[in-house]
Amino acid sequence: MDDVTSFAEAAESHLDDVYSYLVWFTGDRFAAEDLAGETFERALRLWHRFDPKRGSVRTWLCQVARTTALDHFRSEKRRTRREQVAAVPERYEERLLEGLSPELEAAIARLSAGEREVIVLRVVLDFDAKTAAGMLGISPTNCTTRLNRALGKLEEALHVAA
Amino acid sequence: MSQLDLTAQLRAARPVVPAELRELVASIAAQAEPEPRRRRTSWRRGLLVAAPVMAIAAGAAILLPSGGTRNGSPAALEGQLPTLAPPAVHRVAAPTFSASGTDQAKASTAAAAGSSAEALPYNPTRVEQINTTLELRVKNSQAVSDGTKQAVAITRALGGYASALNVDAQQRTGYANLVLRVPKQNVQKAVDRLSALGTIIGENVAIKDIQNQVDATTRKIERLVAQRAAWEKQFQTTETQKHIAALTDQIGKLRRGRNTTVRNAAFATVRLDLTTREAPAPVHHGNGPFHNLAVAFRMIGIGAVYALALGAPLLILFGLAWLGVRAVRRHRENALLSRS
């Protein structure tokens, strides 16, 4: 558990993690940028509710980011339904992540947001199963199963591409 | 590609935060930040609230009378009334007498404790009925027997007699009920001496002036005597003689009655009760120092049972509702994330 003294310190320390999480979760760099700013604004407002005994500040910031992203998904869903426009994702026209092979990036793009989320939490940000499961609101076993399934899909997609 | 290589590649490919975003977050963080709240609720805070609440509740329960029975419940009122102290441990030379100069009987019940000895306020020139009741407590049945003998001896010594005796001194506890007739000029002495036989637990003196009643009878007799004299002066026939005989008979009855009344009034009636029974101990109806605390705990217990009986189903319902809402929310969330 990290020792946090101020919000500024927390924001500076964990901006990369929050941004990575949001990029993976949304699959959209521009949306992730907006959501990251919104996340830290919200986190500042809620900072008085942060309890270090209940978890690390990184976990807490990721939870705030998750709530912000879920709100974004809901509003996007409503907007899409209202405009009756078929959901045609344009977000992977630019490269989502630097240093990935095009096959892997394409495979990631085919994953659902839930699958990408469990990968970023467990693999990229290296949360343990219990913490990640707590953030997702599922059991650790379910979290591990979901992770294995997502990685299996990636492997399968890469195998097919090869 | 193995899963290890895959995860290593995924870890290595972390997005770089744009400079604009870093500046934006820095500007957000530069705003006045509230201090993180360490812990919203803790057992210390809970105790801080619960302790005064419990103290106030307990204090109120102790200070306020036990609920519900104050208004008119005899039991509750009885508990609040001052309990009369058991009578007299000290002996009193003589009971307090109330004087009476009227036709109405006036009674005086003197609490034995602290009674001052006063002379019997009877008027020797008038006809009065004096009734005295004296209740004494003695040690044991032997004392009852001895006290009875002494009471009879005292009465005889003062020129009186025992008109009724009811003594039971066979068992461990005993009692004696005596009706003593004492010349009224000696009733003061009699009460003084009889009071010394035990501990006074009750006494009563009633004096009724019957002088007017006697005077009225005397006047009636005088009228009848005058009527009879008038009849006797008339020519004596069988009829007049019948009237004279009837008047004589009536006069005789009235004189006998008056004489009996005056003769009885010459003696005072002293009812003496000797007993070994202890005076009933004052009954406290839960007025001990912790009575209301016990009542408070009982009420809390009753409240807890009610809360359990009514609250448990509600809690179960709320729990089921919460689980249902959570399941729906997760289902929707999963559906949302599976499409995104």
Question: B292 pLDDT band (50/70/90 cuts)?
Answer: confident
Q: What is the pLDDT of residue B123?
A: 75
Domain topology for A1-90: Rna Polymerase Sigma Factor; Chain: A (1.10.1740)
CB contact under 8 A, B34 and A47: yes
What is the rounded average pLDDT for all residues in chain A? 85
CB of B35 within 8 Å of any CB in chain A? Answer: yes
B29 near A CB under 8 A:
yes
In the predicted model, is pLDDT for residue B69 greater than 80?
Answer: no
Asked if residue A135 has pLDDT above 70, the reply is yes
* pTM score of the predicted model: 0.47
Q: At residue A19, does pLDDT exceed 90?
A: yes
> Does the pLDDT at position B252 exceed 80?
yes
Higher pLDDT, B273 or A161: B273
Q: Does B42 touch chain A (CB under 8 A)?
A: no
Interchain contact B5–A (C-beta under 8 A):
no
Q: Chain A residue with minimal CA distance to B326?
A: A137
**A95-162 topology per CATH:** Arc Repressor Mutant, subunit A (1.10.10)
pLDDT for residue B133 is more than 60? yes
Give residue B87's pLDDT.
35
Output phi, psi for B106, to 5 deg.
-125, 130
Closest Cα in chain A, distance from residue B310 (Å): 31
pLDDT digits (tens, 9 = 90+) for B188-246: 888 888 888 888 888 888 888 888 888 999 999 999 999 889 888 888 888 888 889 99
At residue A144 the predicted structure's pLDDT band, cuts being 50, 70 and 90, is: very high
Instruction: Report, as an integer, the average pLDDT of B5-29.
Output: 86
Within chain A, all domains assigned CATH 1.10.1740.10 are found at 1-90
Instruction: Give the C-alpha separation, B6 to B13, whole Å.
Output: 11
In chain B, the residue whose alpha carbon lies closest to the alpha carbon of A74 is: B336
How far does chain A reach from its first CA to its final CA, in angstroms? 42
Determine, for residues B25 and A40 on separate chains, whether the beta-carbon distance falls below 8 Å.
yes
Q: Which of B100, B184, B183, B172 has its CA nearest to residue B143?
A: B172
By Cβ distance, the residue of A29, A47, A151 closest to B36 is: A47
Residues forming beta bridges with residue B183, ordered by sequence position: B267
On whether the CB atoms of residues B263 and B181 are closer than 8 A, the answer is: no
Q: Between B7, B15, B34, which is nearest A20 by CB? A: B15
Q: Going by DSSP bridges, is the β-strand pair B106-109/B199-209 parallel, antiparallel, or unpaired?
A: antiparallel
pLDDT given at position B117: 42
Please tell me which residue, B282 or B172, carries the higher pLDDT value: B172
- Pair B276, B175: CB distance under 8 Å: yes
pLDDT for the residue numbered B332: 85
Residue A110's pLDDT band (boundaries 50, 70, 90)?
A: confident
Q: Residue A73 and residue B99: Cα distance in Å, rounded?
A: 106
Instruction: Work out the pLDDT band at B37, boundaries 50, 70, 90.
Output: low
What integer is the mean pLDDT of B314-320? 93
| Section A78-92 average pLDDT | 63
- Cα–Cα dist A16/B124, whole Å: 123
Domain boundaries, chain B: 51-83+283-299, 86-281
| Substitution target from A53, A88, A154, A158 for chain B, most B beta carbons within 10 A | A154
Distance from CA of A2 to the nearest CA of B (A): 14
| Residues A89-108: tens digit of each pLDDT | 555 456 677 777 888 888 88
Which uninterrupted H or E stretch holds A47? none
- Is A16 within 8 Å of B31 when comparing Cβ atoms? no
Separation of alpha carbons B340 and B335, rounded Å: 9
pLDDT over 70 (residue B103): no
Residues in chain B with CB shorter than 8 Å from the CB of A2 are: none
Using a CB-CB cut-off of 8 Å, the residues of chain A touching B25 are 11-12, 15, 36-37, 40
Instruction: Determine which of B3, B14, B31, B338 to mutate to test the interface with A (most A C-beta atoms within 10 Å).
Output: B14
Token pair in block for residue B86? 């058991």
Across the interface, do A40 and B16 touch by the CB < 8 Å criterion?
Answer: no
Nearest CB neighbour to A100, from listed B9, B21, B25:
B9
Kindly state the percentage of chain A with pLDDT values over 70: 89
Q: Which of A14-23, A149-158, B19-28 has the highest mean pLDDT?
A: A14-23
- B337–A49 C-beta distance less than 8 A: no
pLDDT for residue B48: 78
Cβ burial, residue B320 (10 Å; 0-12/13-18/19+): exposed
Of B110-114, B155-159, B173-177, which gets the smallest average pLDDT?
B110-114
pLDDT: is A73 or B279 the higher one? A73
Q: Does B63 touch chain A (CB under 8 A)?
A: no
Name the closest residue on chain B to residue A42, using Cα atoms.
Answer: B28
Among B230-239, B273-282, B315-324, which is the least confidently predicted range? B273-282
Interval A41-53: pLDDT, tens: 999 999 888 888 8
- What is the location of CATH 1.10.10.10 in chain A? 95-162
Q: pLDDT: is B260 or B102 the higher one? A: B260
Interface check for B4 against chain A (CB to CB < 8 A): the answer is no
Q: Which of B6, B25, B333 shows the shortest C-beta gap to A15?
A: B25
Q: Which residues in chain B have Cβ-Cβ distances shorter than 8 Å to A134?
A: none
Residue B282 — pLDDT band, cuts 50, 70, 90? low
Query: Out of A5-19, B92-106, B229-243, which region has the weakest mean confidence (pLDDT)?
Result: B92-106
pLDDT reading at B315 higher than 70: yes
Q: Which is more confidently placed, B63 or B15? A: B15
* Per-residue confidence (pLDDT) for residue A80, from 0 to 100: 77
Are B201 and B136 in contact, with CB atoms under 8 Å apart?
yes
Instruction: List the single residue in A with minimal CA-CA distance to B335.
Output: A114
**Closest chain B residue to A88, measured at CA:** B340
Q: Has residue B319 got a pLDDT over 90? A: yes
Structure tokens at B145: 């027997």
User: Could you give the percent of chain B with pLDDT greater than 90?
Assistant: 17
B15 in A contact zone (CB under 8 Å): yes
Considering chain B, what is the average pLDDT of its residues? Answer: 76
Residue B109, CB-side half-sphere exposure with 13 Å CA sphere: 4
Reply yes or no on whether the pLDDT at A39 is more than 80. yes
Q: Contact, B207 vs B98, CB < 8 A?
A: yes
- Cα–Cα distance measured from residue B205 to residue B267, given in angstroms and rounded to the nearest whole number: 14
The region of weakest confidence among B27-41, B56-70, B85-99 is B85-99
